[in-house]
Amino acid sequence: MAQCLMTFGVIGSIEPSSLTTPGGIMHPGLPPHTPYLGTPVVFPPGQRPVSFFMRLSLKIVRIQLRRPPRIIEDRAAQMSAASPTTCTVGQTLCKIEQKRGERRRMDAESTAAEATSLKGAWMHKRYLDCSASELRSISKSDLLDALRASEGRIVVSETIGAVQPLLQTVTNAELAASQGADLLLLNMFDVDHPVIHGMPDGIEPDQLIHALQHLTGRIIGVNLEAVDPALQQENSEFWALREGRLATAENAHKLVTLGAKFIVLTGNPGNGITNEAIHASLRAIHAAVGEKAVLIAGKMHAAGVLSEGGESILTHEDIAEFRAGGADIMLLPAPGTVPGITLEYARDLITSAHKTGAMTMTAIGTSQEGASIETIRHIALMCKMAGTDLHHLGDTGYIGMALPENIFAYSVAIRGVRHTYTRMARSVNR
């Protein structure tokens, strides 16, 4: 068939080959059913066939080359009259190129606009994929975008540095990070007397958070407690309050100076924390450090206020007030941790928060971070189905942190071993 097609559009007369018999029968080497479409042409070595369309194209090019310069100038004048531009005949940039440039600029502006919108089509780099060097200098807005882009697969592990660490010479925060935690939250951290047991010797107190981020490669946050003056009570237990842990603008400013990148306004057991007090503290703290630190607000349990226990821990009204006060992320109990907080109830609150533009963090703050692995997996999947953005595990599996195996199990449940091992294995020197 290829030989037959070469019959058409050949320049010059070339002697055909003798591949047919006098009776018009094709060469015996071809199949007997092959149709006869004419005498095939065999070209000598180095000679190529030129088709009709190639000849036509060459002819058009020759005509264009012969066209007098005046015709080109007249055409340029017509284009300029129809669509005035700054182009002249001698310029290489014409109207078409200008339009292309304008289109490229418009596309770039559109892409930039989408990138600045939380709901834009372009997604920022996921926190899941961020290295230690990227997190070290990340801004608040970029951190929020990175968390949002991770689509509900962020593990937050809360630890206490004021107690003897589980591994004695290694901080609880480092142990949590080794099991796949993405963000580390310090509880009972006194900004006036900073202490993190297990840190290397020789680190100044005002450098502890910076050093911990360097050692773990993780973003570090700190709890501050918004105590209601009317409900404040003497608490002689382990959780007793200190001035350096109160949710004040002064303490928040100190934390940002010390290296904290997010602050959680919440409360420890029995300390009289109300949502009204959280809202009041939130407004003051947002005014002081709202541009520098991610602000998280809410409660994991009643925190000493029984009237705000169970289903009253967080309401739609609280979400609206916290958001208006400057909260970036809403904190609420994980389904199955506090009586009355079901999957459906949590889902309703999370949807309400998302409608305001905020993210959410479900929390295990009821010592169930020390429960069985099966329980942890079940809670993790309920939180994922409820739609939360961040998953928190508390600090009292044993006093000081969640059970290490539960941090690992939770991580695998919500994002599989690939992301879990990646977070565990990625060097802090990257």
Distance from C-alpha of 244 to C-alpha of 302, rounded to nearest angstrom: 22
Per-residue pLDDT tens digits for 134-150 = 999 899 999 999 999 99
**Residue 15's pLDDT band (boundaries 50, 70, 90)?**
very low
Instruction: Assess whether 288 and 356 both reside in one domain.
Output: yes
pLDDT(18) > 50: no
Instruction: Assess whether 79 and 56 both reside in one domain.
Output: no
Residue 409 class from Cβ within 10 Å (0-12 exposed, 13-18 middle, 19+ buried)? Answer: buried
Phi, psi of 91 (to 5 degrees): -85, 145
pTM for this prediction: 0.71
Note the pLDDT of residue 303.
Answer: 58
pLDDT(420) > 70: yes
**What's the mean pLDDT when you consider all of the chain?**
81
Residue position matching structure tokens 């959410």? 360
Residue position matching structure tokens 């993790």? 380
pLDDT(110) > 70: no
99-108 contact pairs (CB < 8 A, 24+): none
CA distances from 417 to 71, 129, 281, 401 (A): 70, 14, 39, 22
CA distances from 219 to 144, 192, 203, 310, 390 (A): 12, 21, 19, 31, 13
Beta strands in 198-319 (DSSP E): 219-225, 262-266, 294-298
Note the pLDDT of residue 296.
Answer: 98
Highest mean pLDDT, choosing among 28-32, 175-179, 337-341: 175-179
71 assigned to some structural domain: yes
pLDDT(373) > 90: yes
Note the pLDDT of residue 269.
Answer: 76
Per-residue pLDDT tens digits for 132-189 = 999 998 999 999 999 999 999 999 999 999 999 999 999 999 999 999 999 999 999 9
Q: Give the number of other Cβ atoms within 10 Å of residue 85's Cβ.
A: 14
Distance from C-alpha of 333 to C-alpha of 313, rounded to nearest angstrom: 8
Q: Which of 302 and 23 is assigned the larger pLDDT? A: 302
Note the pLDDT of residue 415.
Answer: 97
**Residue 234's pLDDT band (boundaries 50, 70, 90)?**
low
pLDDT(3) > 70: no
Average pLDDT over residues 191-209: 96
Note the pLDDT of residue 68.
Answer: 53
Of 191, 239, 253, which is closest to residue 367 (Cα–Cα)? 239
Instruction: Assess whether 12 and 83 both reside in one domain.
Output: no
Note the pLDDT of residue 342.
Answer: 95
The domain tally of the chain equals: 3
Q: How many residues does the chain have?
A: 430
**Residue 381's pLDDT band (boundaries 50, 70, 90)?**
very high
pLDDT(16) > 50: no
Least confident of 15-24, 48-57, 238-247, 322-331: 15-24
Tell me how far apart the 2 most distant CA atoms of the chain are, in Å.
119
Instruction: Assess whether 163 and 80 both reside in one domain.
Output: no
Distance from C-alpha of 190 to C-alpha of 193, rounded to nearest angstrom: 5
430 assigned to some structural domain: no
Residue position matching structure tokens 């998280």? 296
Average pLDDT over residues 303-332: 85
Q: Which of 82 and 371 is assigned the larger pLDDT? A: 371
DSSP 299: -
Distance from C-alpha of 378 to C-alpha of 384, rounded to nearest angstrom: 10
pLDDT(273) > 90: no
Instruction: Assess whether 237 and 148 both reside in one domain.
Output: yes
Q: Which of 304 and 154 is assigned the larger pLDDT? A: 154
CATH number, residue 354: 3.20.20.70
Average pLDDT over residues 265-288: 90
**Residue 126's pLDDT band (boundaries 50, 70, 90)?**
very high
240 assigned to some structural domain: yes
CA distances from 220 to 53, 215, 375, 395 (A): 70, 11, 27, 15
**Residue 30's pLDDT band (boundaries 50, 70, 90)?**
low
Instruction: Assess whether 56 and 145 both reside in one domain.
Output: no
Instruction: Assess whether 299 and 312 both reside in one domain.
Output: yes
Instruction: Assess whether 35 and 71 both reside in one domain.
Output: no
121 assigned to some structural domain: no
Of 243, 202, 313, 227, which is closest to residue 278 (Cα–Cα)? 227
316 assigned to some structural domain: yes
CA distances from 14 to 27, 96, 104 (A): 20, 46, 53
Residue ranges making up the domain that contains 21: 1-66
Note the pLDDT of residue 217.
Answer: 97
**Residue 228's pLDDT band (boundaries 50, 70, 90)?**
confident
Instruction: Assess whether 57 and 71 both reside in one domain.
Output: no
Average pLDDT over residues 102-128: 59
Note the pLDDT of residue 306.
Answer: 62
**Residue 408's pLDDT band (boundaries 50, 70, 90)?**
very high
Distance from C-alpha of 50 to C-alpha of 60, rounded to nearest angstrom: 15
Residue 29 token pair: 């080497």
Instruction: Assess whether 188 and 243 both reside in one domain.
Output: yes
Q: Which of 297 and 86 is assigned the larger pLDDT? A: 297
